[in-house]
Amino acid sequence: MRLNDIADIRGRADRNGPWYALIKESEVQMRDLRQTRHTFAVQAIKSGMYTLQEVSAILGHSSSSMLFRHYGKHLGKSHLKINRSVDIFDGLGYFLGDSEEKISGEK
């Protein structure tokens, strides 16, 4: 079956298309078709399998900021679950001339 328009999936009249038949047959809670887009976006971001730019491109957004505006509220505080033990300044003293190693000539 060729799908030329969202109405081909959703149905042209109130809840008469293949999407609603699938929901009913699957015995899951009734939901609009557009909610699958939100679910995909949030799960793709949480999975870490895609960069934010890739998710934005898949969804057809013009920028990653649009992704945050639309789906950021669904991510909760998951962005706070990062490894904070990483020392981003580790070893920079040597390159900047602030380390004892550089002064004494040792490495």
The count of structural domains within the chain is 2
In the block, tokens 């609603």 appear at 20
- Say whether both 70 and 43 belong to one domain: yes
The Cα 4–Cα 106 span in angstroms is: 69
Residue 16 within a domain: yes
User: pLDDT tens digit string along 38-90?
Assistant: 888 888 888 889 988 899 899 888 888 888 888 777 766 665 666 677 777 77
pTM across the whole model:
0.51
Residue 9 within a domain: yes
- Say whether both 26 and 44 belong to one domain: no
Residue 56 within a domain: yes
pLDDT of residue 82: 66
| Confidence at 4, pLDDT banded by 50, 70, 90 | low
Q: Mean pLDDT of all residues in the chain? A: 75
pLDDT of residue 29: 82
DSSP character string of 37-93: HHHHHHHHHHH-SS-HHHHHHHHT-SSHHHHHHHHHHHHTTGGG-S-TT--TTTTHH
Residue 14 within a domain: yes
Domain coverage including residue 6: 1-32
